[in-house]
Chain A
Amino acid sequence: MKPDAGILFRRRLINRIMTGAFTFAVLVSLTVLAAILIKLIGSGGNIFHLSIFFKSTPAPGSAGGLFNAIVGSVMLIAVAIIFAVPVGILAGTFLAEYGKNSRFGQVVRFCNDIMLSAPSIIIGLFIYAVVVVPSGHFSGWAGALALCLIALPVIVRTTEDMLRLVPDTLREAAVAVGCPYWRMIVSIGWRSARPGIITGILLALARISGETAPLLFTALNNQFTTFSMNRPIASLPIVIFQFAMSPYRDWQQLAWAGALLITLTVLGLSVFARHILFVRSRHGNRS
């Protein structure tokens, strides 16, 4: 029996159209990413020179840089990550090693999932109510704490996932030679999961580097350079927000320079984080 040429033609045509649509969807996504990067480089690149790293944010109409914002951002992010890393790794370890199937473990896992996807502005509101209102002023500490709460679930999740990839035979081998359980976790679990845990920390860094919403009502902003975490402190995302929304042309240009800086940092961090995992999995396949 000969296949009906009409049906074959129709099937082939529909297939062409739909696969064309898939390709179109990919092209649309890539175009948007490219358009954003091109605009960032086009508008931020021309004033992206060394002086933005050394001068503070100017009054409208005068020259300046982003020094105070960069200092503020680095301090906020550093404090946030210093607190988030140990707590996150320990909580993730608990989930993977002790609370795998326990009721408490499931509750923790659920809360972590919610915190992971909760709107970051809600975290900002929360910190405002528990830190800013009682202390009576906006401060760098409040901002760092908000960022810490956003970084925490990312680290918990990756730590747990990575520890679960460690084969149980390794654990048994350690316990069999008389190693205490905690010692096994530290010397076997953490050590073999290290690249994955580092990836999680880098992803958390990338995530909080661009966060703006939770800083709006916690760290607020500061025109001047401050090294005190106890006062309102400037940060790159907030300065970008303020300057981009302003009517002044030179402020808008500085905002673009800051946006370029942040995007390059964040994209660099996430590519690097994935690269670590990629290299590791390739080694894993080889052995």
Chain B
Amino acid sequence: MEQTITGTMLAKDTVDVSAQTETRNRKSGRIAAGTRLEPGFKVIAASAAFLLVASMVAIFILLSHEALPVFRKFGLSFITGSSWNPVLDKYGALPAIAGTLITSVLAVLIGAPLALGVALFLNELCPFWLRPILSTTIELLAAVPSIIYGMWGLFVLVPLMSQVVQPALIDLLGPLPVIGFLFEGPPFGIGMFTASLILSVMVLPFIASVSLQAFATVPVALREAAYGTGASVWEVCRRIILPYTKNGIIGAIMLGLGRALGETMAVTFVIGNAHRLKASIFAPGTTISATLANEFTEATGAMYMHSLLALGLILFVITFIVLMITRIFLHSINRNLPL
């Protein structure tokens, strides 16, 4: 009891305590040198912290500054235009923006149910001894560098998609009346769908890990009571855990979405880099990050360069918004976002 009181007091006025020590030390005249270092240490630590704020603000200002000529020349048609033509020096970013959003949303649609399945398995079904091993293994999926996902996608997944999965899906779903157009076209292997599949594996560990942290906030008594009344594992998940952690799960999914939006290398390998808008999810497309990775070093001409930097700004703003939403939903477990 006493500990907690003093603990919170110290937490509240840490600065105050340090000031008190300072006066005390000055009075006694001892360890004066050590005390004199105090303001210096605080200033150094504060400036290191300030460096973070400064770099984020600098990124935003710089990208806006570089993007300005583009919006001055094309206006809003830079965002709504769908022709990206460096030869004519005309730039419309819609295919890249749409590609970014479509691949990311599709990735989350595929990845989130899998991630929730993994998290619920770890939370409810997994034997206790297996837990740390399994959760570390799942986290390793997040540690694999994105270029490795890209290579694996290009050399393993793409052939599999073009020879087996896509022809089957096109035959199966293509002739359907309303949604058929989404699955039309030749089975290239590369394209938006393959990119989404790879992204879904990449966001899975993030969503699973944050969901698990949300599950940990469910009161034990609530779960036990449900099991006590004879509820099955699925009923506990469906009626207790999922409703209780709704916000955390939405936050987890938004965090996954934020990751998917900015992912570069994995997507660049398999997306096909085509600045065209096609309805079919099997068609080659592009994303903002893939466009940057493919074209930036080859960009001649000032307007081409400015357009690419403007794309970067748009990507930054989109991820910023998604992260803001994530923060709102994850407010309670905010301090434990995974790295």
Contact = CB atoms under 8 A, between A and B. Distances in A.
Given A35-B156, A39-B156, A118-B319, A212 B62 contact: no
B296 A216 contact: yes
Contacts of B237: 18
B145 A263 contact: yes
A213 interface: yes
Given A237-B147, A241-B265, A180 B38 contact: yes
B137 A36 contact: no
B323 interface: yes
A107 to B, nearest CB: 6
B315 interface: yes
A244 B117 contact: no
Tell which of B10, B59, B150 has the most Cβ of chain A within 10 Å: B59
A254 interface: no
A6 to B, nearest CB: 16
Interface in A111-148: 111-123, 125-126, 128-130
Nearest to A87: B48
Contact of B233 (A19, A169, A207): A19
A62 interface: no
B145 A25 contact: no
A91 B141 contact: no
A197 to B, nearest CB: 13
B18 interface: yes
Given A91-B52, A169-B7, A114 B289 contact: no
Nearest to A161: B335
Interface in B124-178: 124-125, 132, 134, 136-141, 143-152, 154-156
Contacts, number: 297
Contacts of A98: 14-15, 42, 45-46
A195 interface: no
A12 B49 contact: no
Contacts of B35: 180
Contact of A95 (B17, B49, B141, B319): B49
Contact of B147 (A30, A86, A241): A241
A38 B53 CA distance: 42
B114 interface: yes
Interface stretch (B20-28, B79-87, B182-190): B20-28
Q: How large is the interface on A (under 10, 10 to 19, 20 to 34, 35 or more residues)?
A: 35 or more
Interface residues of B, number: 106
A55 B121 CA distance: 47
A59 interface: no
B312 A270 contact: no
A256 B293 CA distance: 21
Given A91-B51, A175-B21, A130 B62 contact: yes
B263 to A, nearest CB: 7
A154 interface: yes
Contacts of A156: 49, 52
B255 interface: yes
Contacts of A19: 125, 233-234
A30 B135 CA distance: 11
B303 to A, nearest CB: 16
Contacts of B255: 117
Contact of B137 (A30, A157, A175): A30
Nearest to A14: B234
B223 interface: no
A281 to B, nearest CB: 10
A172 B292 CA distance: 52
B292 A121 contact: yes
A25 B117 contact: yes
A29 B12 CA distance: 45
A210 interface: yes
Nearest to A152: B52
A233 interface: no
Contacts of A63: none
A278 B62 contact: no
A227 interface: no
A100 to B, nearest CB: 6
Nearest to A256: B151
Contact of B319 (A100, A117, A169, A244): A117
A170 B113 CA distance: 44
Interface in B299-336: 309, 312, 315-316, 319-320, 323, 327, 335-336
Contacts of A111: 52-53, 56-57
19 contacts: A19-B125, A24-B117, A25-B113, A25-B114, A25-B115, A26-B117, A87-B48, A91-B52, A94-B42, A108-B50, A113-B337, A118-B316, A156-B49, A175-B17, A180-B38, A182-B34, A210-B146, A216-B297, A267-B140
Given A98-B46, A121-B262, 10 more contacts: A12-B232, A40-B152, A87-B51, A99-B46, A104-B46, A115-B56, A121-B264, A129-B62, A180-B31, A209-B145
Query: Can you list the 8 inter-chain pairs with the closest CB atoms, starting with the nearest?
Result: A210-B145, A119-B262, A25-B117, A181-B18, A90-B48, A182-B41, A94-B45, A15-B232
Interface of A: 11-12, 14-15, 18-19, 21-26, 28-30, 32-33, 35-36, 39-40, 43, 86-88, 90-91, 93-95, 97-101, 104-105, 107-108, 110-123, 125-126, 128-130, 149, 152-154, 156-158, 161, 167-169, 171-172, 175, 178-183, 185, 203, 206-207, 209-213, 216-217, 220, 237, 240-241, 244-245, 255-256, 259, 262-263, 266-267, 270-271, 274, 278
